[in-house]
Amino acid sequence: MMVSTESARNWLVSAVARRKGFDASQVAPDWHFNELGLDSTDMLVLSEELAAWAGVEIDSATLWYCPTIARLAEHVASEAATPA
């Protein structure tokens, strides 16, 4: 599957909104995950779901270096574009 930054960002916005009971319009891609009310357990589950959707591996260090939807979406799209 081809994963673009935009598609990963949209997936993340929708997933965070569902998990936290927000409307997607309330989820700002540039806010840090903790500002969106996500704790470490939320992030672990979210990253596993995102990895399965995008077909990439996401380790816990990635979540440290990509603390926003926008940054994580860029990373996932880059990883998805890299041949295995």
Q: Does domain 5-81 have CATH number 1.20.1560.10?
A: no
Length of the chain: 84
Residue 43 contacts residue 12 (beta carbons within 8 Å) = no
Here the tokens at position 43 are 């992030």
- For 69-78, the pLDDT digits (tens) are 999 999 999 9
User: Whole-angstrom Cα distance, residue 9 to residue 55?
Assistant: 15
- For 14-71, the pLDDT digits (tens) are 999 999 999 999 999 999 999 999 999 999 999 999 999 999 999 989 999 999 999 9
Domain extent listing, the chain: 5-81
User: Whole-angstrom Cα distance, residue 2 to residue 79?
Assistant: 11
Q: How confident is the model at residue 84 (pLDDT cuts 50, 70, 90)?
A: low
